[in-house]
């Protein structure tokens, strides 16, 4: 009997390209309050109906004046008016200064602001026949924020497909937007497979049966999905039986955009994901050339996307970050969800080259380099807690201490 040859391992770049090509944009949109739009993705571009700032204004507390009136440092001039933020002043009289505060509009005729620390009030109550000595030689335009220097009227300030964060929300508010049109959150059904899995709290550690393990994947996957802006339905642990797996998949496909599972994507006798998905739709089992995280599944169950992650916790964690994260962002319309990474110095040796692309758990040290977690096993979740990122090590590559490597921070991948 001829031996069936295994398909070659799929490069990560090919797997990601195939996955993103299948990620069709969610068509449903919602209008939400700008206050509640953090993490959402814009369904339409935001165009400014005004310029920001609306007029020239002061960026300092101080005195607005005409540069030509200050020939030398030490000139004394009367205060002709006081202009707080939110008010407007009269045209500045020649040979006088205007007491002005941060954000207040520049009076006509003034062409500079001198900060209050460079001025001395010589006589009179401030703003009431006061005289000020200007101990500076101002330059035209200093400490003046020009009208429209932040945003011009009619400008696209935020583009469709932009994922919103604190700065974006502030910018939207600065042009008067109290609501924003965003893509509906992806609806994701999450469940785990495996009779060995036990939920924390259901069995005390000392009472665990032989071979039983607590279900850690369910917790971090739920958290990761929510960070990606998803609405999550947790179906819990599905028993290792084909009928139960088919029933769970059929129910989940009816009301969700994505079904995400961990475990059961290999070809063992108790791994029922493959036949269950194939009975309801279609499935591709991928062997991806990465370590950790080789087994990965993608397919369709009804109208829902199906993604099956490996069961080992670090493998599941890493494949989510590398593949599922950009897929979910693409569903919401984010065009470029790839992690950029930076070049950093390895303060460790990695003499064992692997045929697969490796993602090593590391953390930055005080010397500006990267330290390596001692145990890189796919079952050691403490490596992801200890570390603050991954070294993306190409296939067949060793690392010598002092060499530059590509580092991708968890902060970037989890944002």
- Assess if residue 3 is contained within a domain: no
Q: Are residues 260 and 276 in the same domain?
A: yes
Q: Is residue 86 part of a domain?
A: yes
Can you give the CATH number for the domain in which 126 is found? 2.170.190.11
| pLDDT 10s digits, 256-281 | 999 999 887 665 545 688 889 999 99
Say yes or no to pLDDT of 214 above 90. Answer: no
Residues 6+ apart with CB under 8 A from 103: 57, 58, 85, 86
**Could you give the number of structural domains in the chain?**
4
The residue segments making up the domain with residue 232 are 12-26+185-331
Q: 308 and 178, same structural domain?
A: no
pLDDT of residue 269: 45
pLDDT of residue 193: 75
Pairing mode of beta strands 357-364, 290-291: parallel
Last residue of a domain, one of 280, 305, 331: 331
Verify that 218 and 263 share a domain, yes or no.
yes
| Together in a domain, 370 and 327 | no
Mean pLDDT of 296-318: 94
Q: End of a domain among 292, 311, 331?
A: 331
Residue 168 vs residues 16, 156, 174, 331: alpha-carbon distances, Å = 28, 12, 10, 20
Q: Does residue 210 form part of some domain?
A: yes
Provide the pLDDT for residue 196.
79
Shared-domain flag, residues 111 and 199: no
Whether residues 123 and 138 share a domain: the answer is: yes
Distance between CA atoms of residues 401 and 349, nearest Å: 5
Residue 177 placed within a domain: yes
Domain assignment present for 1: no
pLDDT of residue 125: 56
On whether both 324 and 216 belong to a single domain, the answer is yes
Please compute, for residue 364, the number of CA atoms within 13 A of its CA located in the half-sphere on the CB side.
13
Tens of pLDDT, residue by residue over 341-392, are: 999 999 999 999 999 999 999 999 999 999 999 999 999 999 999 999 999 9
């Amino acid at each position: 009997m001829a031996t069936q040859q295994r398909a070659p391992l799929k490069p990560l770049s090919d797997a990601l390209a195939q996955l993103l090509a299948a990620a069709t944009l969610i068509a449903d949109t919602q209008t939400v309050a700008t206050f509640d739009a953090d993490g959402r993705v814009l369904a339409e571009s935001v165009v400014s109906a005004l310029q920001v700032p609306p007029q020239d204004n002061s960026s300092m507390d101080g005195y607005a004046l005409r540069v030509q009136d200050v020939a030398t440092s030490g000139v004394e001039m009367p205060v002709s008016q006081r202009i707080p933020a939110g008010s407007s002043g009269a045209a500045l009289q020649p040979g006088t200064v205007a007491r002005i505060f941060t954000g207040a509009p520049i009076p006509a005729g003034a062409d500079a602001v001198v900060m209050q620390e460079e001025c001395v009030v010589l006589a009179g109550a401030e703003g009431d026949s006061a005289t000020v000595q200007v101990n500076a030689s101002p330059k035209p335009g200093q400490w003046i924020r020009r009208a429209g220097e932040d945003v011009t009227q009619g400008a696209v300030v935020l583009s469709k497909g932009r994922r919103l964060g604190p700065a974006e929300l502030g910018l939207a508010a600065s042009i008067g937007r109290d609501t924003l049109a965003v893509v509906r959150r992806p609806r994701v059904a999450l469940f785990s497979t495996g009779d060995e899995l036990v939920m924390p709290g259901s069995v005390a550690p000392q009472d665990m049966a032989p071979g039983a393990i607590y279900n850690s994947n369910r917790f971090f996957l739920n958290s990761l999905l929510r960070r990606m802006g998803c609405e999550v339905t947790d179906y819990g642990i599905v028993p290792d039986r084909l009928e139960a797996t088919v029933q769970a998949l059929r129910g989940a496909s009816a009301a969700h955009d994505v079904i995400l599972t961990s475990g059961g994507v290999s070809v063992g006798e108790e791994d029922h994901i493959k036949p269950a998905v194939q009975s309801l739709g279609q499935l591709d089992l991928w062997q991806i050339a990465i370590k950790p995280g080789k087994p990965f599944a993608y397919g369709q169950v009804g109208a829902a996307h199906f993604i099956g992650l490996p069961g080992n916790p670090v493998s599941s964690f890493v494949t989510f970050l590398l593949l599922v994260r950009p897929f979910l962002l693409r569903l919401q319309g984010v065009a470029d969800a790839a992690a950029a990474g930076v070049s950093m110095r390895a303060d460790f040796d990695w003499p064992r080259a692997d045929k697969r692309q490796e993602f090593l758990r590391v953390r930055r040290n005080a010397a500006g380099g990267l330290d390596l977690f001692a145990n890189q096993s796919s079952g050691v979740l403490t490596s992801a807690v200890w570390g603050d990122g991954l070294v993306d090590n190409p296939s067949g590559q060793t690392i010598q201490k002092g060499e530059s490597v590509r580092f991708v921070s968890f902060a970037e991948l989890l944002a």
